[in-house]
Amino acid sequence: MSKCIFCKIANGQMPAHIRYEDDEVVAFDDINPKAPFHVLIVPKKHLKNLNDTAKIDQDLLGHLLLIAQKVAEEAKIADNGYKIVINNGKESGQLVDHLHLHLLGGKLLARMAV
Amino acid sequence: MSKCIFCKIANGQMPAHIRYEDDEVVAFDDINPKAPFHVLIVPKKHLKNLNDTAKIDQDLLGHLLLIAQKVAEEAKIADNGYKIVINNGKESGQLVDHLHLHLLGGKLLARMAV
């Protein structure tokens, strides 16, 4: 059985505040939010980060971005604005070795990095 | 003729330090870098930001992320780590109204936002 916490959330073994779910993707609140709205968009397939993806994952990667947009719209932060951040590898700040998109919004984010 | 500066770079009307180009995507150095390595990955199709995308753009969105990974690998920053940031809308810090992915690397980025 996987020890990956995002795999456990994806298969229901670990609780989370789920915002969206389908066969390929789950989106849930970050437990340590860095903004008023901070959701993680996670593929159910275990991929370590973008370095672990290939052409076969193109549809899934596009789907992750479309779901991020959908979650932002449903949370009513899409018009004001939101950031997507994907950390890959140890110098990036990636804390969980399962590909995830941070969706951040709900306040002025312009000065957070780029 | 488009006044969009990223459209102008994409169609060769405006110079940039091009890192990668194909029929759908162009990647070039940010002129105001926020990290030692700071490249923008831009679709040639004019999309304002993620709010302007739909299911028809899924392949293109996946392609943008795969190209980001490829550019990171070619720049030899993939193993150490890199961030992808996509700003959408006025509260996010989006400065050019043409969808673009920031690819940031080359130093410890962990404390830059999430």
- pLDDT tens profile B96-112: 999 999 999 987 665 55
Mind listing the pLDDT tens digit for each residue in B35-94?
999 999 999 999 999 999 999 999 999 999 999 999 999 999 999 999 999 999 988 989
> How many Å apart are CA B15 and CA A55, to the nearest integer?
30
Domain membership of residue A114 (yes or no) is no
Q: Do the Cβ atoms of B92 and A109 come within 8 Å? A: yes
Catalytic: A100?
yes
- Is A58's CB within 8 Å of B66's CB? yes
Residue B114 belongs to a domain: no
Cα separation, B104 vs A11, in Å, equals 32
Q: What is the pLDDT of residue A109?
A: 64
Under-70 pLDDT residues of chain A: 1, 108-114
C-alpha span between B60 and B110 (Å, rounded): 28
pLDDT at B1: 64
Dihedral angle of Cα A108, A65, A114, B70, to the nearest 10 degrees: 180
Say if B111 falls within a structural domain.
no
Which of B51, B66, B87 has the CB atom closest to A78's CB atom? B51
Residue-level pLDDT at A2: 76
Compute the C-alpha angle A90/A92/A94, nearest 5°: 65
Task: Render B45-95 in DSSP notation, one character per residue.
Answer: S---SGGG--GGGHHHHHHHHHHHHHHHHHTT-TTT-EEEEEEESGGGT--
DSSP structure string for B35-47: SSEEEEEEESS--
- With beta carbons less than 8 A apart as the criterion, state whether A108 and A71 touch: no
List CB contacts (< 8 A) between A109 and chain B. 87, 91-93
Confidence (pLDDT) at B52: 97
Interatomic CA distance for residues A61 and A87, integer angstroms: 14
Total domain count, chain A:
1
Residue of B21 and A106 predicted with greater confidence: B21
**In whole angstroms, what is the distance from residue A101 CA to residue A47 CA?**
12
CATH of the domain at B27: 3.30.428.10
Please report the pLDDT score of residue B27 as a whole number: 98
Residue numbers of the domain that contains A31: 5-105
Query: Nearest 5 degrees, angle CA B53-CA B99-CA A76?
Result: 55
B41 burial (CB, 10 Å; 0-12 / 13-18 / 19+) is buried
Is residue A92 one of the residues assigned to a domain?
Answer: yes
In a domain, B34, yes or no: yes
d(CA B55, CA B113): 29
- Quick check: is B112 in a domain? no
- Who among B66, B72, B92 is closest to A61 (CB)? B66
Residue A111 falls inside a structural domain: no
Model pLDDT, residue A110: 55
Give residue A113's pLDDT: 55
Q: How far is A13 from chain B (nearest CA, A)?
A: 26
Does some domain include residue A41?
yes
Strand partners, B27: B20, B41
Residue type for position B53: T
User: Is it the case that residue B114 has pLDDT exceeding 60?
Assistant: no
